[in-house]
Amino acid sequence: MRKSVRAAMSAAAAVVALMTAACGSDPESAAPAEPVIDLAKLDTGNLTTQPKPYDKAGNKDLGRAVQAERLANYLPLPAEMNPAVTKPAAAVNGAIRPFIDLGSGAMRVRTNAKPDALRAAAPGFLSGYVTTGNSDDLPGLAYEFANTVLIFTDEAAASAAAQALGQADFDAAPSERLHLDKYPSAFAYLDKSYDFNAGVRSWYATGRFVIFGYVWDDLMAETKASDPAALLARVQLGLDAIPPALAKFPAVAPDQLTEQPVDLDGVLGRTLRTVADDQSERGIPGVYDRHGGLQLFPGDDNAALFEKAGVDRVAFNGGYVFRARDAAGATAIVTERGRTSRTFQPADSPANLPNAQCRKYTGPEPLSVPYYCYVTHGRFAGEVAASQLLDAQQRISAQYALFVNADK
């Protein structure tokens, strides 16, 4: 699925940026004058430096993925549903957001049923989006609060699938049915695969959508002090908040999926496209508004930064592109997201690109991508990551050249 979607977009695999904290700065102050850069002197490796125009989706798989991405702009953020959930989800849980296959990692990490069983239970499934977060930075003390919204062809398909998906997953492992008084039609159950009973799942149909709520509590697992009522209460928070948001979502008719525009304001076309076998790839490329961007960059600090910088578009491909209110806003993004600290040490910037800056992650998180580079051009800020410093330098150089060429 992922390969077919990315092929349809002619977009290569992407690198992930750590969800680092960003304290707001003042974009109202004047940005420094952008230096004159000779693009011919930049080392861009074999990376493309020309923007890519995107038209309508054209094929159904891409149209399904685009509609899933648009959900992000409407779904409440985890902290808006549950004020205790203010931290990003663990990387393995938070990497895959939009998807068009029930065998996606977005589902595999949260269900016991095999992908084929889920597919069989959900005829009419089109695509889905995960919004997720944690209640604490420390995994052993945190619980994951995840809500996955699945889009179906029609209301009847969604209604039938909610029950069938719940039953398929319920049958796949030891489970105990639970009841939500406020939502009696929800198929909810306690996962009893382990002796600590720390997870609850719920499937609930509303209109053309199915809300799959999932809560897993690491502290309950560690202490073996299960509290199904508390888990169920957290699941209900998602059911309280998501249906009103979905009522505002302009869902596209199945026969119109191919007519959707892939890009918004040409911002996705300005993103870097990297090599097709990039093992850092973490999801489907896309472009979001400010709210949707905060699904990717959660937390009060990032929300404050986006507000002050006037971010109105966030695009994701072989790196991230942020469109700010103006050049000062773009500079504020790079200043804060590129800030060095005890766990992020300065790294050499690329040659002949003095307005770029790089840093290296030296913290304790295993399997983290170490090198990050940032650059601005006008109201745009770019962020890339790579396993090797030279690769990161070439990527940010190519991203800058792409920004400049997009203005021609």
Per-residue pLDDT reduced to its tens digit, 121-144:
999 999 999 999 999 988 789 999
pLDDT of residue 356: 97
pLDDT of residue 20: 35
| Tokens found for residue 91 | 């990387």
Nearest to 24 by CA among 306, 325, 379, 378: 306
pLDDT of residue 138: 87
Single-letter code of the amino acid located at 167: Q
Q: pTM of this prediction?
A: 0.89
Residue 281: pLDDT band with limits 50, 70, 90: very low
Residue 280: pLDDT band with limits 50, 70, 90: very low
Instruction: Please write the tens of the pLDDT for every residue from 232-261.
Output: 999 999 999 999 999 999 999 999 999 999
Question: What does the alpha-carbon distance between residue 192 and residue 45 come to, in Å, rounded to a whole number?
Answer: 52
pLDDT of residue 10: 37
Mean pLDDT, the chain, rounded, equals 90
For the cut 90, the answer to whether the pLDDT of residue 12 exceeds it is no
Edge-to-edge strands, sheet with 199-206:
98-99, 125-134, 143-152, 209-217, 199-206, 187-191, 175-178
Question: What does the alpha-carbon distance between residue 369 and residue 356 come to, in Å, rounded to a whole number?
Answer: 19
Structural class in CATH, domain 60-246: alpha beta
pLDDT of residue 282: 52
pLDDT of residue 29: 53
pLDDT of residue 30: 63
For the cut 90, the answer to whether the pLDDT of residue 362 exceeds it is yes
Question: What does the alpha-carbon distance between residue 192 and residue 323 come to, in Å, rounded to a whole number?
Answer: 46
Single-letter code of the amino acid located at 307: E
Question: What does the alpha-carbon distance between residue 159 and residue 66 come to, in Å, rounded to a whole number?
Answer: 23
Question: What does the alpha-carbon distance between residue 274 and residue 293 come to, in Å, rounded to a whole number?
Answer: 21
Among the ranges given (21-35, 172-186, 384-398), the one the predictor scored with the smallest mean pLDDT: 21-35
The pairing of strands 199-206 and 313-316 is unpaired
For the cut 60, the answer to whether the pLDDT of residue 7 exceeds it is no
Give the burial class of 97: count Cβ atoms within 10 A of its Cβ; 0-12 exposed, 13-18 middle, 19 or more buried.
buried
Cα 209 versus chain centre, distance: 19
Domain ranges of the chain: 2-55+262-406, 60-246
Instruction: Name the residue with higher pLDDT: 400 or 284.
Output: 400
Residue 90: pLDDT band with limits 50, 70, 90: confident
Nearest to 399 by CA among 370, 373, 371, 369: 373
The alpha-carbon radius of gyration of the chain (Å, integer) is 21
Percentage of the residues of the chain whose pLDDT score is greater than 90: 82
Average pLDDT over residues 286-303: 94
For the cut 50, the answer to whether the pLDDT of residue 376 exceeds it is yes
For the cut 90, the answer to whether the pLDDT of residue 309 exceeds it is yes
Edge-to-edge strands, sheet with 380-386:
286-288, 313-316, 320-323, 380-386, 371-377, 357-361, 344-347
Give the burial class of 349: count Cβ atoms within 10 A of its Cβ; 0-12 exposed, 13-18 middle, 19 or more buried.
buried
Residue 11: pLDDT band with limits 50, 70, 90: very low
Burial code (b: 16+ CB inside 10 Å, e: under 16) for 319-339 equals: bbbbbbbbbbbbbbbbbbbbb
pLDDT of residue 8: 43
Nearest to 341 by CA among 326, 319, 359: 359
Instruction: Please write the tens of the pLDDT for every residue from 24-62.
Output: 344 445 667 899 999 999 999 999 999 999 999 999 999
Cα 376 versus chain centre, distance: 22
For the cut 50, the answer to whether the pLDDT of residue 6 exceeds it is no
pLDDT of residue 275: 57
Percentage of the residues of the chain whose pLDDT score is greater than 70: 90
| Tokens found for residue 84 | 């205790």
Average pLDDT over residues 174-193: 97
pLDDT of residue 9: 41
Q: Coil, helix or strand for 15?
A: coil
pLDDT of residue 89: 87
Residue 92: pLDDT band with limits 50, 70, 90: confident
Among the ranges given (5-19, 110-124, 266-280, 374-388), the one the predictor scored with the smallest mean pLDDT: 5-19
